[in-house]
């Protein structure tokens, strides 16, 4: 709790001072130090300020200042002391750890600096790690118990600076202001310090407790460069610790240093000013002095940092300071100095400050860093000579895409058969030993028939994710964005849009969220809206089922064709949106091209396991529930032979092939009853209501129902077809049933033409509920979610109609 929450007469023990520099120093000098008892005496008549007692004297604090001091109630503090005395443990749980032994840590660094790898290594979490900017688009939280401390670790989005230019930068700025972590771990790439340390200079301006993690130190050593990190750390006033996050080397020393900094015992920690040119320093001093004169300015940021950001014209800083009474005075002072600096230098203030900071970095590195041979750069240049070449770039990319889909379909078929046999064996055992009744039907047809019919496609999905993971981790994905930028620009998009679009091949939801890496608002919204056209892994079970049944000899080509059609739909939609809804985007294409790295087997397996875990959870959650609902809707109400109208029986028998009638009266009666049961179930009524819309593509009511069920998750389409057509978990049996003529109508559920039309419809029609929710959240408007439902479905119907009639000419 905070000191401001302590009621009159209550006593607490100080655990942390959350403010920065001057405020922190002032209150500590007054006796507000960790472990000190403090008692609330009384509130002022207007409830602010508040009088406190400590060290046998009384002192008053405003509530805003008291809110920056964390305390623990006295009885709780004593209870923790007793627990530690009785049974001190290294890995104490959170309930037995005193609040002063809980350290809140923020991981901050440039994109692609290995920050998330460090987070995974330290916290044991399994967050996605990729070798390109924008993998982390939100804060991830983890916990580690280490040497009697509980470390609460937050992995913040990668950012190059602390300016309100991109959503990531804005998020990090607001997090630092509102959450005030105890220690910042600034992760930098040891072999690329000049660019990485720019963000460090801004964190130094903030005057926060910090440790610099020199990550990927092995790359620096391989290049035979040398770095006196201890001397550089002393110069910056921030301790520096070399690490290799991917292997865990140096991580324990990093955590030890974090504890030292938190306990204020590290000898290298001191506050410095990143010195700028004299006229800039004069401007900062003037604005800083004016700000310090306002007693209401909360000590969440250093006044020097506020002054620098205000001088740079940062919109987020202007918004934050606009509520203060003296805001217009500060702005007038800022404008005066900005005009003077720009007149004297011929450059804008932001450029001057950036140049000065890079000059400071170069000066510090000149004394401590000796660059070596850059073999890695040579390797990167050699590979780039081919993969980014205008002649070879696109063919290489298309070859990789074709190989990915071929492996997904062909190689994935072998483990798919093994899982299918296992599920079938389980179904046989249950069918043999359980007594007849609705519960047995639910278990066999609803649960195993629904979930079992989808889980067999797990290997296909894992293979797809293995390819995507390799492209991301190796650095190739960033090159794809590079070679696709011109094409993206012709589509009315930004080059960075290509990364979320490719990620959409895995799952549309995180892909939609990853659009936050795009600075342009219009490009970001367009990318969100066209992302569902990227064929996600949830559609793979449908593709494998229909392609395996009707086009087994051309599986890879059908897959490639579907994915290309989705891309074509995205291009068309993007051009229409840019022409009729959004203005032209002039945001420049600036994107880091990281060096190539060989993905570790551990990272690839971890990523595949994470996806498998998510898929299995989906099987046991959403798809299980959806399958049971579909089964119930198709099972009820129940009918017997006496309830079947004679007209229905007569029409059904008249349509039956002669071979079916020849099977005997009992077989005919059972078929008629089953058909009547399906058509007049709740699901049957829903499906037949859609018949007029779907009839032009020759989709039966069962097919219409499966498409409707796909709103929950696209995999449910397969489980719905399984429940309605075969009532079994056997994917091979379902595949055979879809092309076998009905014993009642004499027509198969699908022909080659209608199967192609169905695949096109599944590719393009409305996204699942999770994707719709992500669209609304990322665009900030339900209208875009509604647009996606209506537009995508209309486009799907038109494309499916055309596909059916064109394919009918050949089949």
For 686-700, the pLDDT digits (tens) are 888 888 888 899 898
Region 754-781: mean pLDDT is 88
For residue 592, the model assigns a pLDDT of 59
For residue 725, the model assigns a pLDDT of 80
Cβ atoms of 529 and 576 within 8 Å: the answer is no
d(CA 722, CA 730): 8
Region 378-395: mean pLDDT is 78
Distance from CA of residue 335 to its chain's centroid? 40
> Is 157 or 416 the better-scoring residue by pLDDT?
157
Please provide the distance, in angstroms rounded to a whole number, between the alpha carbons at the two ends of the chain: 73
Of 267-271, 414-418, 519-523, 645-649, give the lowest mean pLDDT range: 519-523
Of 356-365, 519-528, 749-758, give the lowest mean pLDDT range: 519-528
In which order are the strands placed within the sheet that holds 50-54?
57-61, 50-54, 37-43, 11-17, 69-73
Cβ atoms of 387 and 424 within 8 Å: the answer is no
Which of 770, 767, 762, 746 is CA-nearest to residue 796?
Answer: 762
Q: State the pLDDT confidence band at 29, using cuts at 50, 70 and 90.
A: low
Of 11-15, 69-73, 494-498, 799-803, give the lowest mean pLDDT range: 494-498
Average pLDDT, the chain: 80
For residue 800, the model assigns a pLDDT of 95
Q: State the pLDDT confidence band at 292, using cuts at 50, 70 and 90.
A: confident
CA geometry: angle at 99 spanning 94 and 103, to 5°? Answer: 85
Is residue 332 exposed (0-12), middle (13-18) or buried (19+ Cβ within 10 Å)?
A: exposed
Coil, strand or helix at 68: coil
Q: State the pLDDT confidence band at 594, using cuts at 50, 70 and 90.
A: low
Q: State the pLDDT confidence band at 90, using cuts at 50, 70 and 90.
A: very low
Is residue 507 exposed (0-12), middle (13-18) or buried (19+ Cβ within 10 Å)?
A: buried
Which of 761, 800, 766 is CA-nearest to residue 786?
Answer: 766
Region 288-309: mean pLDDT is 77
> Is 559 or 298 the better-scoring residue by pLDDT?
559
For the cut 50, the answer to whether the pLDDT of residue 89 exceeds it is no
Residue given tokens 């099977």 in the structure block: 663
Q: State the pLDDT confidence band at 718, using cuts at 50, 70 and 90.
A: confident
Region 710-714: mean pLDDT is 78
Of 254-263, 424-433, 552-561, give the lowest mean pLDDT range: 424-433
For residue 351, the model assigns a pLDDT of 84
For residue 446, the model assigns a pLDDT of 56
For residue 764, the model assigns a pLDDT of 93
Region 4-13: mean pLDDT is 84
Tokens of 536: 């996600």
> Is 431 or 771 the better-scoring residue by pLDDT?
771
Q: State the pLDDT confidence band at 247, using cuts at 50, 70 and 90.
A: confident
For the cut 80, the answer to whether the pLDDT of residue 487 exceeds it is no
Of 33-42, 117-126, 161-170, 437-446, give the lowest mean pLDDT range: 437-446
C-alpha dist (Å) from residue 581 to 428, 522, 756, 783: 56, 9, 32, 13
Region 321-345: mean pLDDT is 87
For residue 60, the model assigns a pLDDT of 81
Per-range mean pLDDT, top range of 447-456, 484-493, 602-611, 777-786: 777-786
For the cut 60, the answer to whether the pLDDT of residue 97 exceeds it is yes
Per-range mean pLDDT, top range of 30-39, 438-447, 454-463: 30-39
**DSSP state letters, 258-298:** HHHHHTT--TT---------HHHHHHHHHHHHHHHT-TTS-
For the cut 80, the answer to whether the pLDDT of residue 333 exceeds it is yes
Percent of the chain with pLDDT over 70: 86
Percent of the chain with pLDDT over 90: 12
For the cut 70, the answer to whether the pLDDT of residue 295 exceeds it is no
For residue 81, the model assigns a pLDDT of 65
For residue 88, the model assigns a pLDDT of 46
C-alpha dist (Å) from residue 388 to 393, 478, 560, 596: 5, 10, 22, 13
């Amino acid at each position: 709790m905070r000191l401001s929450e302590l009621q009159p007469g209550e006593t607490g023990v100080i655990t942390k001072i959350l403010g920065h520099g001057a405020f922190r120093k002032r209150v500590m000098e007054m006796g507000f130090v960790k472990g000190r008892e403090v008692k609330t005496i009384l509130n002022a008549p207007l409830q602010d300020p508040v009088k406190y007692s400590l060290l046998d004297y009384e002192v008053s604090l405003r509530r805003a200042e008291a809110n920056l001091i964390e305390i623990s109630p006295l009885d709780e503090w004593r209870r923790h002391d007793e627990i530690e005395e009785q049974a001190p443990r290294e890995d104490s749980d959170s309930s037995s750890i005193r609040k002063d032994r809980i350290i809140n840590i923020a991981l901050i660094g440039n994109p692609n600096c290995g920050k998330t790898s460090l987070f995974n290594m330290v916290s044991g979490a399994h967050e996605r790690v990729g070798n390109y900017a924008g993998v982390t688009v939100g804060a991830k939280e983890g916990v580690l118990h280490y040497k009697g401390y509980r470390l609460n670790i937050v992995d913040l989005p990668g950012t190059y600076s602390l300016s309100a230019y991109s959503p990531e930068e804005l998020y990090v700025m607001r997090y630092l202001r509102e959450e005030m972590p105890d220690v910042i771990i600034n992760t930098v790439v040891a072999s690329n310090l000049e660019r990485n340390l720019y963000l460090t200079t801004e964190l130094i301006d903030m005057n926060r407790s910090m440790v610099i993690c020199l990550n990927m130190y092995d790359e620096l050593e391989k290049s035979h460069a040398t770095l006196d990190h201890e001397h550089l750390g002393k110069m910056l006033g921030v301790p520096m610790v070399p690490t290799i996050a991917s292997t865990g080397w140096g991580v324990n020393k990093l955590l030890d240093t974090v504890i030292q900094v938190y306990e204020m015992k590290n000898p290298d920690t001191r506050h410095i000013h990143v010195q700028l040119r004299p006229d800039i320093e004069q401007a900062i001093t003037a604005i800083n002095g004016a700000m310090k004169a306002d007693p209401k300015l909360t000590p969440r940021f250093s006044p020097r940092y506020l002054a620098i950001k205000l001088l740079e014209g940062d919109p987020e800083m202007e918004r934050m300071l606009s509520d203060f009474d003296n805001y217009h005075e500060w702005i007038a002072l800022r404008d005066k100095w900005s005009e003077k600096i720009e007149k004297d230098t011929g450059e804008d203030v932001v450029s001057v400050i950036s140049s000065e900071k890079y000059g400071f970095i170069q000066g510090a590195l000149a004394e401590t860093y000796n660059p070596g041979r850059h073999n890695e750069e040579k390797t990167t240049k050699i590979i780039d000579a081919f993969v980014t070449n205008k002649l070879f770039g696109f063919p290489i990319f298309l070859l990789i895409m074709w190989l990915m889909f071929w492996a997904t379909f062909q190689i994935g078929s072998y483990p798919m058969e093994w899982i299918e046999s296992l599920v079938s064996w389980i179904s046989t055992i249950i069918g043999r030993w359980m007594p007849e009744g609705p519960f047995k039907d639910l278990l066999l047809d609803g649960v195993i028939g629904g979930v079992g019919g989808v889980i067999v496609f797990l290997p296909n999905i894992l293979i797809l994710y293995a390819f995507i993971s390799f492209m991301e981790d190796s650095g190739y994905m960033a090159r794809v964005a590079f070679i696709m930028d011109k094409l993206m620009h012709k589509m009315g998009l930004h080059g960075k849009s290509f990364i979320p679009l490719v990620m959409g091949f895995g799952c549309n939801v995180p892909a939609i969220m990853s659009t936050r890496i795009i600075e342009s608002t219009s490009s970001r919204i367009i990318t969100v809206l066209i992302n569902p056209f990227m064929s996600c892994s949830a559609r793979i079970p449908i593709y494998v089922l229909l392609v395996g049944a009707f086009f087994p000899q051309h599986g890879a080509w059908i897959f490639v064709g579907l994915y290309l059609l989705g891309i074509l739909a995205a291009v068309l939609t993007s051009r229409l949106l840019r022409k009729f809804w959004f203005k032209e985007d002039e945001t420049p294409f600036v994107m880091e091209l990281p060096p190539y790295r060989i993905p570790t087997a551990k990272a690839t397996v971890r990523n595949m396991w994470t996806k498998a875990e998510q898929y299995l959870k989906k099987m046991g959650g959403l798809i299980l529930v959806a399958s049971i609902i579909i089964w119930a809707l198709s099972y009820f109400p129940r009918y017997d032979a006496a309830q079947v109208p004679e007209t229905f029986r007569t029409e059904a028998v008249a349509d039956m092939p002669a071979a079916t009638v020849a099977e005997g009266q009992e077989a005919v009666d059972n078929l008629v009853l089953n058909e009547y049961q399906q058509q007049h179930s709740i699901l049957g009524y829903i499906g037949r209501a859609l018949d007029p819309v779907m009839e032009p593509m020759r989709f039966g009511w069962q097919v219409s129902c499966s498409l409707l069920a796909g709103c929950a998750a696209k995999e449910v389409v397969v489980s719905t077809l399984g429940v309605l057509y075969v009532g079994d978990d056997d994917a091979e049996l379902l595949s055979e049933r879809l092309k076998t003529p009905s014993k009642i109508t004499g027509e198969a559920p699908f022909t080659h033409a209608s199967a192609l039309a169905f695949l096109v419809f599944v590719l393009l029609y409305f996204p699942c509920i999770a994707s719709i929710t992500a669209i609304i959240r990322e665009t900030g408007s339900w209208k875009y979610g509604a647009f996606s439902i209506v537009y995508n479905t209309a486009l799907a119907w038109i494309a499916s109609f055309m596909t059916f009639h064109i394919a009918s000419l050949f089949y």
